[in-house]
Structure 1
Amino acid sequence: MAPADPPEDAPPTREEEGVVRPDELDYTSSERVAELSDGRYVVATDNDDAPSAGGSDGDGDSDGEVPSDDRGTLARQQMARYVSESDADYGVGLTAAFDGDIAQHEQFTDDVAAAFGELVTWYVEQIDTEASPSEAIGILLLASNTTVTYPANTLAAVLRDHDLTPDDSIADLIEALRDEPFQIPPNE
């Protein structure tokens, strides 16, 4: 080794302004860097906690790809941050597979009922059905054995919609509903 050369274990020094070579960066000692495997790192780009290698053992996949479990964890973390940064009281960011096709839905609102209604309507619009969205929602709720409890005044609205009074019989209600689906709440 020539006398002007630095020792081998000394950190490299910059020789030129404005350009930084990879070997000039000592990124491995930073708390904002986590090693995935040899030569592969995760670098935190925000002011939150130090990054995690996602529980990886450092070996990684043989083809150099990030394991799908790690990608899923990272995607969930990013989506959680994205949804939580909205100014709305309720937020949904959803990616779903429907018969091999991928669909995405996102919504931010301060109205909890609107959030739920839009979400289930979007869901049934993605499935292959000849039923209308309102019929499909009803069918799915029945088929999933999900119990739904409606306020008692909902029935009064249905009776009014069909010009029925408390003096009419159950048979009159059945007859009124015979040619059309039973809808709660009724059309307004």
Structure 2
Amino acid sequence: MKVLLYSLLFFSLPLFAQTKTAIDIKLYNDANAFYQVYNSGDVNVLTSEADINAVRNSTDDEYCLKRAFENFKKIVEEYPYSEYYLTSLYYVGHFEFGELKLAESKKHLLEVIESDQSNGYYIRQAFLDLADIAIEEKDYILAQKYIANIENSTPTRFWCGVARNQDEHRVKFIKERLATGLIRK
């Protein structure tokens, strides 16, 4: 009996520990897949037939974005020690900005910036989102500080030229909005 109990205890604990990791990995992969479908329309990146059918049968244009947000948010709320936590936190803040939930978005984006464990790409994107939020709130001085942080930081490595071009265009667009806001002020 002792051997059985010992065996169950010894072998079942690692299984339970791995389950959380497996769940957050699945949530993260699903969130990325839904976000990719939202951006590209290609449902073939989804891993389950049920998800593919749900997307095809949905009349809501934002269905994939909502599913991605739900999964990223679940990682943030339930798996704070996940390796995907900070990336998910960035996306939660980014999506909240898109919904104009500015206070919640700022809180999440600032946490990404304050973390020394985050990927430089997501820190840069968080600064860009925060600059956008500051412009929305007509706090142009703060927006200038965020832009200065971007310009003074170590250059980010991009996955491809398209990502670099998008980033450069976004920085240029934010600077134009900032200049326009400063002139009107």
Using structure 1 for the length normalisation, give the TM-score: 0.25
- Larger RCO: 1 or 2 (CA < 8 Å, sep 6+): 2
Report which of the two structures shows the higher radius of gyration computed on alpha carbons.
1
Q: Which has the higher helix share?
A: 2
Q: Which has the higher strand share?
A: 1
Using structure 2 for the length normalisation, give the TM-score: 0.26
